[in-house]
Amino acid sequence: MTEFENYSLVLGSLTLLVLWVQLFLIYRAYKADHERRKKQSTIEYLNEIRKLYRPVELKLIEKFGDKVINILISTNVQLIEATPHFVGQSQLPHVAGEA
């Protein structure tokens, strides 16, 4: 191999290495941005549907108290199954990430 070919191989290898590092950094930035947007979207969506479930929650707290509601939710399966009726069945899959 000539000296020119050696320099060409070294330069090509360095270029390939720089390209690989750039692609890796782009991938990391894209993934971080995607996660940030996903979390922001969830927060915005939950703030929107809060208008629907907050009045019901306040009525339950007023009637039963906060601690009683927490106990009921953790122990009463029927109340958990009825929860979609408070928010609207079509909206719960969005919160769970199924849609």
Quickly list DSSP for 41-63. HHHHHHHHHHHHHHHHHHHHHHH
Give residue-wise pLDDT tens across range 40-97. Answer: 999 998 888 888 888 887 887 888 777 766 665 666 666 566 666 555 555 545 554 4
Domain interval for residue 35:
3-96
CA distance 58 to 55: 5
Q: How confident is the model at residue 99 (pLDDT cuts 50, 70, 90)?
A: very low
**CB contact at 8 A, 98 and 60:** no
Per the structure, the count of domains in the chain is 1
pTM over 0.75: no
